Amino acid sequence: MTKTIEKPDAPNDAGRRTFLKGLAGAAGVAAVTAVPVSKAAQAKSIPLEMFKVAPAQVTPVGGELDPLERMRGELVRALEKPVNERRWVMVIDLRKCVGCNSCTISCVAENHLPPGVVYRPVIHEEIGTFPNVSERFLPRPCMQCDNPPCVPVCPVNATWKRDDGIIEIDYDKCIGCRYCITACPYNARVFDKGFVYNDVPPEPVVSTAMVGSEAAEQYEVVPTFEYGEPRTREAGQSPIGNARKCHFCLHRLEKGMLPACTTTCIGRATYFGDANDPDSLVSELIASPNVMRLKEALGAEPKVYYLQ
């Protein structure tokens, strides 16, 4: 069985790179290295199998499999199970995080987040007093709580916990009352007030020295794929006026791809996988004695674990 996904609907790597580049230019952040777009990625359609790389197919470098390759293999394995048997969790190793914000930016690029909307900020904390000081970086995605405080408060059933544990939002049902935002103890839900980086439709730029300005212009025009639905940004239309949050890149997971934050983490500090699979990397990691979760006392049972 070969499922295909159509371009431009497919969130392929080339698209992401271009976006990343565009965003870097638009935001004036450090320029991101341009990666040549492969011919395969330019093709009209991409077979789903392309994303399915089993561990056995990958030749380990230096005898050890890159955690990303291992997790991709485990992801494909989990996708073969029924949805209710998967349990997606994220593990973030705080000792490895260097605070580069790649995850934040890749998430923004992946989901075409507008100004004021962020799914995965990285909190910088200074610990200690001089001369004994250190810095800690704490990425904060949605915790996808097992006992989510945001779900029961929604007056119109527009948000719920999926069988695989991800908290989903129905953008077309959400009335934008923001009760869920007040109920989240992690500030993980945000309100899309309707701001845009560019004019929609974009004004043609005559000349600019900005790296990636062409891609940046298209930022609001090209659709996002959150929850598997292609959406372009239009005034007054959802997700403007909605509550939004991280969804572990559900649209990518279903295509056999790891969340954007996980693949772009330069220090391999973010791990992702199925905690119901005893052989998965995340299952091993969350059994460590140095594992912790944020605000454990509230009883929300978050599914984002931190190693410290």
Partner 1 sequence: MNEKTNIWLKVLWVVAGIGFLVGLYGLYARFVFGHMRTDYGSYVPWGLWVAAYAMLIGISAGAYVMASIIFILRRKDWYPIARAALGVALAAFIGGMIAIFLDLGHPERFYELIFSTNFRSMMGLMAWLYSFYGLMLLLLIWLSWTREDNPWLRRLGYLSVPYAILFAGAEGALFGVVGARPLWESGLTPLLFLVEAAVSGVAAVTVVSYILGYLDKAKAAFLGRALLILLLTNLLLIWADFSTALYAGIPAKSDAIRSVLFGDFWWVFWIVYMLIGVVIPLLLLAFRPKSVGAISLAGLLIMVTAIATKLSLVIPAQTQAELTGLERAFTGPGLKFEYFPTTSEWLLYVWIISAAVLIFLAGFVLLQRVHKEAN
Question: Which positions lie near partner 1, rule CB under 8 A?
Answer: 104, 115-118, 121-125, 138, 140, 149, 152-158, 173-179, 181-187, 189-195, 235-236, 238, 240-243, 294, 298
Q: How far apart are CA 109 and CA 128, in angstroms?
A: 35
DSSP per position, 178-236: -HHHHH-TT---EE-----SS-SSPPPPS----TTHHHHHTTTTSPB-GGG--B---TT
Task: Find the shortest distance in angstroms from Cβ 186 to partner 1.
Answer: 6
Tokens (6 digits) for 218: 């298209």
Please, which residue, 55 or 241, has the CB nearer to partner 1?
Answer: 241
- CB 151 → partner 1: shortest distance, Å? 9
Closest distance of CB 137 from partner 1, Å: 9
Nearer to partner 1 by C-beta: 257 or 269? 269
If the CB atoms of residues 154 and 286 are measured against partner 1, the closer one turns out to be 154
CB of 196 to partner 1, least distance (A): 10
Task: Spell out the residues 6+ positions from residue 297 whose beta carbon is closer than 8 angstroms to its own.
Answer: none
What's the maximum distance between 2 C-alpha atoms anywhere in the chain?
61
Smallest distance from the beta carbon of 15 to partner 1, in angstroms?
23
Q: Which of residues 46 and 90 has its CB atom nearest to partner 1 in the complex? A: 90
Number of CB atoms found within 10 A of residue 299's CB? 11
Within 63-180, strands assigned E span 88-93, 122-129, 132-139, 159-161, 167-169
Between residues 55 and 185, which has the closer beta carbon with respect to partner 1? Answer: 185
> Toward partner 1, which CB reaches closer, 120 or 255?
120
Provide the minimum distance between the beta carbon of 22 and partner 1 in the complex, in angstroms, as a whole number: 17
Q: Are 124 and 100 in contact (CB under 8 A)?
A: no
CB of 4 to partner 1, least distance (A): 34
Look at the block and give the residue holding tokens 């119901």. Answer: 276
For the chain, the residue count is 308
Burial class of 91 by CB neighbour count within 10 A (0 to 12, 13 to 18, 19+): buried
14/196 with CB nearer partner 1: 196
